[in-house]
Each structure stands twice: as C-alpha cells, then as structure tokens.
Amino acid sequence: MTEKTDFAYFAAGCFWGVEAAFRQLKGVKATVAGYQGGSAQNPTYQDVCSGQTGHAEVVQVEFDPTVISYEDLLEAFWQSHDPTTLNRQGPDVGTQYRSAIFYRTEEQKTIAEKSKEAQGKRGIFRRPVVTEISPALDFYPAEDYHQQYLEKRGLASCHI
C-alpha cells in the first residue's frame, strides 16, 4: 500500500517555531525549513536576512491528506502567529518574517483565500489580516543547522 502525500508552504515568522508547530500535527510526515517568494536563486540565510532577495522564511510541510486536511493545516497556521502584522512576528522584523501562504494548486489557492476571508470575519483580530497568498514557485531548503532547530536543542518553541 502506497501512501499519498501532498505539500504545503507556510511563512509565519521565524521558521524555527513554525516548523516545530507543524511537526507536532498528526498526519504531517516531514517538514523542511527554507526560503520562498523571492527573486534570487539558491539564497543563503545571510542573503535572505539582508532583505534584498524578497524571500520569506517558510516551512515546507509534507502531509498525508487522508489524515490531516489542507484546511486543518491552515487552521494551525492561523493559530501559530499574528497574521495582522506586516513583515513582523514578535521581535523579528523584516520582509522575510511576513505572513504568507504559498499555494501549489488552484484548489489550495481557493481554500487559502476562503480561509483568510473567514479569519477576517471571525472578529478575533483587531486589525486586518495581511497574509500574502502567492503561488509556490522555487523552494530552497535552508542550511542544515536551521532544520528542526528547536527540537535539536531541546526547546519547545520560540515566538509561538
């Protein structure tokens, strides 16, 4: 029996905490911290932090859609950060820390847009949701030392 997996890409501030949050979800098979949404090819952490590449710190989430839905992943995404702050999460400031959903398919795009709209209507946030919804283009894995950063150091979370 072969497992079918799918991929989702989320930016919600520093990827260390975002990756740790998604790794805890049943149905998530793997996560990779990386960069997406910019113009440079093969950016490094230093490149992204310069603010010159346009990349966001993202987490690639490989999941089993028979166990966890894309909608459920979006719910975890909304709960993991403040989607009303532009280019900022907690003390982290810069375009690389923006709130973004990078969709792979038109179906993911539609679901993400409806989910964002629902967040705005819930009345939970005092400010408008500014989360970017863009196509997932090139994903670049971050350097090895960023992968499962908190887990490797025995830390539960950072900004979440």
Q: Where in the sequence numbering do the catalytic residues fall?
A: 14
* The pair of three-digit structure tokens given for residue 38, joined into one six-digit string: 């910019």
* The pair of three-digit structure tokens given for residue 64, joined into one six-digit string: 């089993």
Residue 158 binned pLDDT confidence (cut-offs 50, 70, 90): low
Which helix (H) or strand (E) segment holds residue 61: the answer is strand 56-63
pLDDT above 80: residue 150:
no
What does the pLDDT read at residue 125?
86
- Cα 52 from chain centre: 20
Q: Which fold has domain 6-152?
A: Peptide Methionine Sulfoxide Reductase; Chain A (3.30.1060)
pLDDT above 60: residue 1:
no
The answer to whether 114 and 158 are in contact (CB under 8 A) is: no
CA distance 17 to 80: 9
CA distance 7 to 120: 25
Q: Encode pLDDT of 132-147 as tens digits.
A: 999 999 999 987 777 7
pLDDT above 70: residue 149:
no
Instruction: Quote the Cα angle for 49-112-118, to 5°.
Output: 110
Q: Encode pLDDT of 17-70 as tens digits.
A: 899 899 999 999 999 999 999 999 999 999 999 999 999 999 999 999 999 999
Q: Encode pLDDT of 62-111 as tens digits.
A: 999 999 999 999 999 999 999 999 999 988 999 999 999 999 999 999 99
What does the pLDDT read at residue 38?
95
What does the pLDDT read at residue 90?
87
Per-domain boundaries in the chain: 6-152
pLDDT above 90: residue 153:
no
The answer to whether 19 and 13 are in contact (CB under 8 A) is: no
